[in-house]
Structure 1
Amino acid sequence: MDPPVRVAAVDCGTNSIRLLVADITTEPATGARALHELDRRLEIVRLGEGVDRTGRLSEQALARTFAACERYAERIRELGAEQVRFVATSASRDAGNRDEFVAGVRDILGVEPEVIIGAEEADLSFAGATRELAGRRIPTPYLVFDIGGGSTEFVLGGARPEAAVSVDMGCVRLTERYLTDDPPTPAQVEQARAEVERRLDEVAGEVPLERARTLVGLAGTVTTVAAMALDLPAYDRDRIHHARIPAAEVHAVTDRLLSMTHAQRKALPFMHPGRVDVIGAGALILDRILARVSPHLARGELVVSEHDILDGIAWSAASRSRASRRDADDR
């Protein structure tokens, strides 16, 4: 039986940077592996602020991100993770000065940040979201999607991914391009909606959306919309994880968010401060995905997952650690 592996996973996206420290264990009786969470945290650093316009990571965004990395490095040392994997996604892929970002993270955390391509981002999201769904009699194939700040990933599959695509459609990017008033005007919303529909046409050319039987949504936009649909008095991860939200409720929440002012959104008891100004765009993306896919689903609803790319990174880090142990034993 493999001994436990303690790993640290960092997911650095356009809007947020997140940390998961976990033990990956093997059950003696079945040989099944399980993830036991020790710490999970999030900071909104808005690394991708302005990248769509300038093509570069700003000094202020880098400073915010490096400060969060310092705090994460301290926590990783406290918990004694033996393997650390740092994955960076859309904003750092797009930036002309990404070498500055890579060097800063390496100096702070001692690991090379992996600026992954969209296909790998999609695979990691799928692994993190679906590993615990096996055996729950949930119809497959799953269509897993992850709405980020700069891009959205789509993966279709059952036991493993079968088709995947990443498109440049995210809540920060859409907000900066179209939803500039407070609240956005109907014309701005219509422009943003048309952009999302164009991007979904691109997705349909790569991933057969009509084959999806269960829609699984990941990341902060999806969980925040779920919290609003469930009318939660505060953010409750346990209530949100694996909640099932009908398409009509997602649509109603989206309409409400797009009609609210910044102050009204900020006052919602479950709203993370860093999502206040981009949640309307994220909800619009979610609503259009569900409208496009719901006619094909076994049930016209969204399954919400709190487990996502961060969990997928942790699983992959554990696999690397075990491979390193085997190599050491061979030597």
Structure 2
Amino acid sequence: MASDVALPIHPVSGRSTTERRGVDRFASPQRRTRPPAFAAIDLGTNNCRMLVGVPSGPAFHVLDSFSRVVRLGEGLYRTGVLSDSAMDRAVDALAICAERLKRWQVAEIRAIATEACRQAENGADFVARARSATGLPLETISPREEVGLALESCASLINQAERRALLFDIGGGSTELAWVRVPGMGADSDRNLPQLIGYHSIPVGVVTLSERCAGWCETEAGFAGVVDEVKALLRPFEQIHRIGQEIRQGGVRLVGTSGTVTTIAGIALNLDRYRRGAIDGAVLPRGQVADGLASICAMGRAGLAQHPCIGPDRVDFVLPGCAIFAAIEEMWPTQDLAVADRGLREGMLMRMIRSARSRHRRYNA
């Protein structure tokens, strides 16, 4: 039965005592000597991902990670609802995350859902079901917060730009863009985050495009048509902020974080297999990026499935993602592209760690 009784708020975390008990259930008594860990879970339109880390210097040390393709948004474009099978897959993946969290002494957990749950008529019901089944504090976040988390995770890359940066994240159900002002030279990305000038979210991602435009991107004409459609969705953002004019003046960097971008980078770098260390933080000249994109488009479906940087599980999403990227790059052609193999999970961890440090300084002042 619903209750309107206010829950007491924990004096340190700002969370209710009921929510704190939900976190404490994942603490492991065998890990008491380890620094408190933080856990971040990102349930997207296509994947469920988890990252557990402890503070280390200006960032964090990873203790555990998990990723599974759940295709939560499968069929959403056609039906407007999350299917029973898709919800079952997502809850199963979240249950695995909850079980793995029992290994660690977890100080705080953040679990988010994004575009699929924002769009679906039954998105809120699914989130409630997932919370009840797993004990995880799953919540659906807004596009604005999604942009903020991506900004947090990519701050160190953005801060290397001269004046401005355009950050984009090509997801499963949507694509987010952030137009940001870069801090002064020598800025500490842990304390001095880039300043958000404006953001834009379009309801187009690799999953939605793969369902709506199945097969289109496999032909040159179809690919070009999808690129034009995406550019039309981006044009209002350009009209407001005149990013193209800023690019022509110089000092603007394009920063991409998504599986699409890291795949293009892997192909452009001629990697024999995907290696995060070679890709995360790489800055590629525009010509090299164009060569990588052209190589992907020329592979054909069989070639994409066989390539070690892609594989059969992602073959349906590569070309739709490339079409979104091509639209962004054609709309805002910069001299180079900074590639980030990081995203919402890293942003959540950085934000939780930064908040914990701030509380520690405040209480010990």
* TM-score, reference length from structure 1: 0.86
Q: 1:123 aligns with which of 145, 148, 152?
A: 148
Q: What code does the residue aligned with 2:138 have?
A: P
- Give the conservation status (yes or no) of the 8 Å contact 1:11–1:309: yes
Q: What code does the residue aligned with 2:117 have?
A: S
1:12 corresponds to: 43
1:198 corresponds to: 232
Say which SS state the counterpart of residue 74 (structure 1) adopts. Answer: helix
Q: How far did 1:248 drift?
A: 2.8
1:30 corresponds to: none
CA–CA separation in structure 2 for the residues paired with 1:132 and 1:306: 11
1:311 corresponds to: 346
Q: What code does the residue aligned with 1:235 have?
A: Y
Q: How far did 1:98 drift?
A: 1.0
1:233 corresponds to: 272
1:1-331 paired onto structure 2 within 5 Å: 5-25=36-56, 27=57, 33-131=58-156, 134=159, 137-157=160-180, 158=182, 159-180=194-215, 184-210=218-244, 211=246, 213-294=252-333, 297=334, 300-319=335-354
- Give the conservation status (yes or no) of the 8 Å contact 1:290–1:302: no
Say which SS state the counterpart of residue 77 (structure 2) adopts. Answer: helix
Say which SS state the counterpart of residue 278 (structure 1) adopts. Answer: helix
Alpha-carbon distance change, 203 to 176 in structure 1, aligned in 2, over 3 angstroms: farther
CA deviations 1:31-54 (Å, max 9, x no partner) are xx3222222332111111111111
- The share of aligned pairs that are identical, in percent, is 32
Alpha-carbon distance change, 138 to 115 in structure 1, aligned in 2, over 3 angstroms: same
Q: What code does the residue aligned with 2:43 have?
A: C
Say which SS state the counterpart of residue 271 (structure 2) adopts. Answer: coil
Alpha-carbon distance change, 280 to 221 in structure 1, aligned in 2, over 3 angstroms: same
CA–CA separation in structure 2 for the residues paired with 1:138 and 1:187: 35
Question: Of the two, which has the highest radius of gyration?
Answer: 2
Alpha-carbon distance change, 205 to 109 in structure 1, aligned in 2, over 3 angstroms: farther
Segments of structure 1 that go 5 or more residues without pairing to the other structure are: 28-32
CA–CA separation in structure 1 for the residues paired with 2:309 and 2:98: 28
CA–CA separation in structure 2 for the residues paired with 1:128 and 1:47: 24
Q: How far did 1:176 drift?
A: 1.6
Alpha-carbon distance change, 62 to 325 in structure 1, aligned in 2, over 3 angstroms: farther
- Give the conservation status (yes or no) of the 8 Å contact 2:164–2:253: yes
Q: How far did 1:132 drift?
A: 5.9
Q: Which has the higher contact order (CA 8 A, sep 6+)?
A: 1
- Give the conservation status (yes or no) of the 8 Å contact 2:267–2:295: no
CA–CA separation in structure 1 for the residues paired with 2:91 and 2:301: 28
- Give the conservation status (yes or no) of the 8 Å contact 1:144–1:154: yes
- Give the conservation status (yes or no) of the 8 Å contact 1:169–1:199: no
Say which SS state the counterpart of residue 302 (structure 2) adopts. Answer: helix
Q: How far did 1:281 drift?
A: 0.8
- Give the conservation status (yes or no) of the 8 Å contact 2:42–2:48: yes
CA–CA separation in structure 2 for the residues paired with 1:247 and 1:133: 17
Segments of structure 2 that go 5 or more residues without pairing to the other structure are: 1-33, 183-193
Say which SS state the counterpart of residue 103 (structure 2) adopts. Answer: helix
Q: How far did 1:62 drift?
A: 1.0
Q: What code does the residue aligned with 1:23 have?
A: V
Alpha-carbon distance change, 68 to 273 in structure 1, aligned in 2, over 3 angstroms: farther
Q: How far did 1:312 drift?
A: 0.9
Alpha-carbon distance change, 145 to 246 in structure 1, aligned in 2, over 3 angstroms: same
Alpha-carbon distance change, 228 to 139 in structure 1, aligned in 2, over 3 angstroms: same
Q: What code does the residue aligned with 2:41 have?
A: V
Say which SS state the counterpart of residue 86 (structure 1) adopts. Answer: strand
Alpha-carbon distance change, 325 to 138 in structure 1, aligned in 2, over 3 angstroms: closer
Q: How far did 1:320 drift?
A: 5.6
Q: How far did 1:309 drift?
A: 1.8
270-279 vs 304-313, which deviates more?
A: 270-279
Say which SS state the counterpart of residue 173 (structure 2) adopts. Answer: coil
